[in-house]
Structure formats: C-alpha cells, structure tokens
Amino acid sequence: MKYLLLIHQGDTPTPHTPEAWERLSEEERNAVYAAYKAINETPGVTPGVAMQPPEMATTVRVQDGKTLTTDGPFVAVKEALGGYFVFEADDLDAAIEMASRVPAASMGGAVEVRPLVE
C-alpha cells in the first residue's frame, strides 16, 4: 500500500523559524537533519520536494464559479502542512511507525497518514 505522510510542523522549530531553530543545540539540529536523511533513504520512501513555509502559500477556492484567492495556507498557520513524502509499506502499522520517526511528530507537530488510491 502507498501512504502519503503529511508533515504538520505545528510548534516544531525549523530553519523557517530561525528564533526557535537557533535555540536548539547544534547536536539537536543535526539530529533533525539526520532523521530526515534516514527517512528519505529508507526503502519504500519517495521523498517530497521541499516546501516554502506556509506564509508563502496561496489558497484557491472556487465559489459559484468565482475563483477566490487568499493569502496563506488553507488552515491556520500553526496547523499548516510543512512537508510530505510517499511511503510504500505493507500495512498501516508500518506507516504509523514511519510517521513516528518524523522529527515534527515528537517536536510539537503531527504527521497525518493518508492512504493513496491505487
């Protein structure tokens, strides 16, 4: 089965939030990089392309044939999507295990696991 793992950063410090990011020790920052590198190199993982932060997003909705364009992500900035990757796994348990390895999951964010239609 293929799963899309959607990374919601929440309050997770990232390089896009320099103030919080700088508060992490160098060791902690390296651990985050190493964790994402390990995930991207795991068999079954198709890494997502890096995303600009949610403030750079534009949300498009169509209502009564009219396109409504708003600045920012669809949900509140705090809950916005920060990244994604595709993981091919035997079952949901394996996908949950992978999701739990994403640093954001343990640093104030969450990972949503969404099965892909095949």
Partner 1 sequence: MHLEQTFRDEWGRVLATLIGILGDFDLAEDAAQEAFAIAAERWPREGPPANPRAWLVTTARNRAIDRIRRDRTHAAKTRLLEVQEATEDEVDDTTIRDERLELVFTCCHPALALEAQVALTLRTLGGLAVEEIARAFLVSDETMAKRLVRAKRKIKVSGIPFRVPPPYQLPDRLDAVLAVVYLIFNEGYGGRNDLAADAIRLGRALAELMPDEPEVHGLNALMLVDDARRDARFADGVVVLLDDQDRSLWDRDEIEAGRAALERALALGGRGQYLLQAAIAVLHVDESPDWPQLEQLYGELARLTGSPVVELNRAAAMAETGDVEGALAAVDGLELDGYHYLHATRAELLRRLDRTDEARVSYDRALELVHSDAERRFLEQRLAELSR
Instruction: Restricting to residues 38-97, name those near partner 1 by CB under 8 A.
Output: 89-93, 95-96
Check residue 112 for interaction with partner 1 (CB under 8 A): no
Nearer to partner 1, 80 or 89 (CB): 89
Check residue 31 for interaction with partner 1 (CB under 8 A): no
Give 17: exposed, middle or buried? Use CB within 10 Å, 0-12, 13-18, 19+: middle
Q: How far is the CB of 115 from partner 1 (least distance, A)?
A: 5
Angle at CA 102, nearest 5°, toward 90 and 86?
A: 45
Contact 105, 112 (CB under 8 A): no
Torsion of the alpha carbons at 49, 82, 112 and 98, rounded to the nearest 10: 60
Nearer to partner 1, 64 or 90 (CB): 90
Check residue 111 for interaction with partner 1 (CB under 8 A): no
Instruction: Tell me which residues touch partner 1 (CB under 8 A).
Output: 1, 3, 89-93, 95-96, 113, 115
